[in-house]
Amino acid sequence: MIKPPPLRDNCFAMPRGVEWTPVDVALDRLRDGLTRVVGSSNIKTDAALGRILAADVVSQSDHPPFENAAVDGYAFAHADLPSGDEIKLPLVNGRAAAGQVFTGKIPKGHAIRILTGAAVPNGVDTIILQEDINRDDTHIYFRTGLKAGANARPQGEDIKMGQTILHAGHKIRPSDLGVLASSGVETVAVFDQLRVAVLTTGTELVDAGHAKNDGMVFDANRPMLLAQIAAWGYAPVDIGIIPDDAEQIATALDHAAKSADVILTTGGASAGDEDHISKLLSERANLQTWRIAVKPGRPLALALWNNTPVFGLPGNPVAAMVCTHIFARPTCGVLSGEGWLTPPAIHVPAAFTKSKKHGRSEYLRARLNADGHAEVFASEGSGRISGLSWADGLVALDHGAREIAHGDMVRYIALT
């Protein structure tokens, strides 16, 4: 397929006069401004796990491919059963088993031994369970009452040849591979894997395991975001740690734009002396700085660097992770061809109390307890990175003010 056109230069532009943008407004604006950026190709079905279908898939075979037995038992023609409550049928020599088709003739009023998965022989249409009969060497005995066609699975009962079995935009799961294989599908059209580059900025950063001088800290954002990108099924591209130097950052962004379809940066997205990301994007990439009414988070820099979308995330690890889930995840869904991805949420009772002020959406690190109630991390401080490991989800609180008591229903988003 032909690669889609690049995004418009103003795809991230917010309306004039907007200062603090509510989360819902920001998400709607993102959705309206984005389109798929990856091409597509045909690949072998057995290599398609986690890939996103670029076209509908139709079955190449009926499933089951022939009428077959659902149980171990005995097959006969229902119309040939004698009258009366007690039935006695003579057995033919031979049997039908999976992979062993019985090709002989079954006389009228006779039965044949048949095993699960075997093709139903010509001339019979009903199967009785072996537990429901008595037998001797030559006959089976059972009571009447079995319906015609019982325990026989018709050809194409589940899937018909030519039937659409999976739709474009679907991400292939292990269970889908079974459906595709049983339908005789050898290759599928998938979107090319979205490549997501991650770079962190900060002269104070160093990778874990390396020596660090006074005033330096280990880089938590890059390994965390690279792993999250991989868990979502995208291809992570590690650009590394870039010092607070405008030209080195520009060179890194050039490299990232050539290597990836979207770029995530952390740090330098605000307006401080060393916030070179926002300055560079403003000077060279039509920067749109969104001041999001969200906690944790707020500044979110968006731009196109050499036609590659850039998300300038906050440098605080908690804010970076939350903004990645809330903003970057649905964005990557559109760019990858999967479509806009709304985080799955459920409503559960709160196992906490909180007085929330009006003015911004809040995302509290949370997990479900044994009763299925949402607990929240002891501190809301966005510097407490241990809360990310403690949590398995977020409690999402909307823009307005709210008093939350134990047992009140809250919206819980699982972190996947």
Q: What is the DSSP string of 163-196?
A: -EEE-TTPBP-HHHHHHHHHTT--EEEEEPPPEE
Q: 391 φ, ψ to 5°? A: -85, 155
Tally: H helices and E strands in the chain: 8, 29
Q: Is 107 helix (H, G, I), strand (E, B) or coil?
A: coil
Tell me the pTM: 0.83
Nearby residues of 155 by Cβ (< 8 Å), 6 or more positions away: 62, 64, 65, 66, 67
Q: What local confidence, expressed as pLDDT, does residue 70 receive?
A: 97
The pLDDT value recorded for residue 96 is 97
Phi, psi (rounded to 5 degrees) for 312: -90, 100
Q: What is the pLDDT of residues 359-382, one digit of tens each?
A: 889 999 999 999 999 999 998 887
Residue 246 one-letter amino acid: A
Architecture of domain 345-414: Beta Barrel (2.40)
Other CB atoms within a 10 A radius of the CB of residue 217 amount to 10
Phi–psi pair at 394, nearest 5 degrees: -130, 140
**What fold, for 20-39+192-336?**
Molybdenum Cofactor Biosythetic Enzyme; Chain A (3.40.980)
**Domain extents for the chain?**
20-39+192-336, 42-63+157-191, 68-153, 345-414
pLDDT score of 7 = 62
| Total length of the chain | 416
pLDDT for 25: 86
**Joined tokens for residue 105:** 């003739």
The amino acid present at 261, given as its one-letter code, is D
Which regions in the chain score pLDDT beneath 70?
Answer: 1-19, 268-276, 289
Instruction: Give DSSP secondary structure letters for 111-141.
Output: EEEE-TTPBPPTT--EEEEGGG-EE-SSEEE
Architecture of domain 42-63+157-191: Alpha-Beta Complex (3.90)
Other CB atoms within a 10 A radius of the CB of residue 186 amount to: 11
Residue with tokens 């389109």: 35
DSSP assignment of 10-32:
TTTPPPTT--EE-HHHHHHHHHH
What is the four-CA torsion angle of 54, 60, 63, 67, rounded to 10 degrees? 170
- Locate 334 and state its tokens: 């559109």
Residue 164 neighbours by CB under 8 Å, 6+ apart? 56, 57, 58
**Domain range 68-153, CATH architecture:** Beta Complex (2.170)
Could you give the angle at the alpha carbon of 69 between the alpha carbons of 68 and 72, nearest 5°?
A: 155
What's the CA gap between 300 and 95, in Å, rounded?
70
Give the CA radius of gyration of the chain: 31
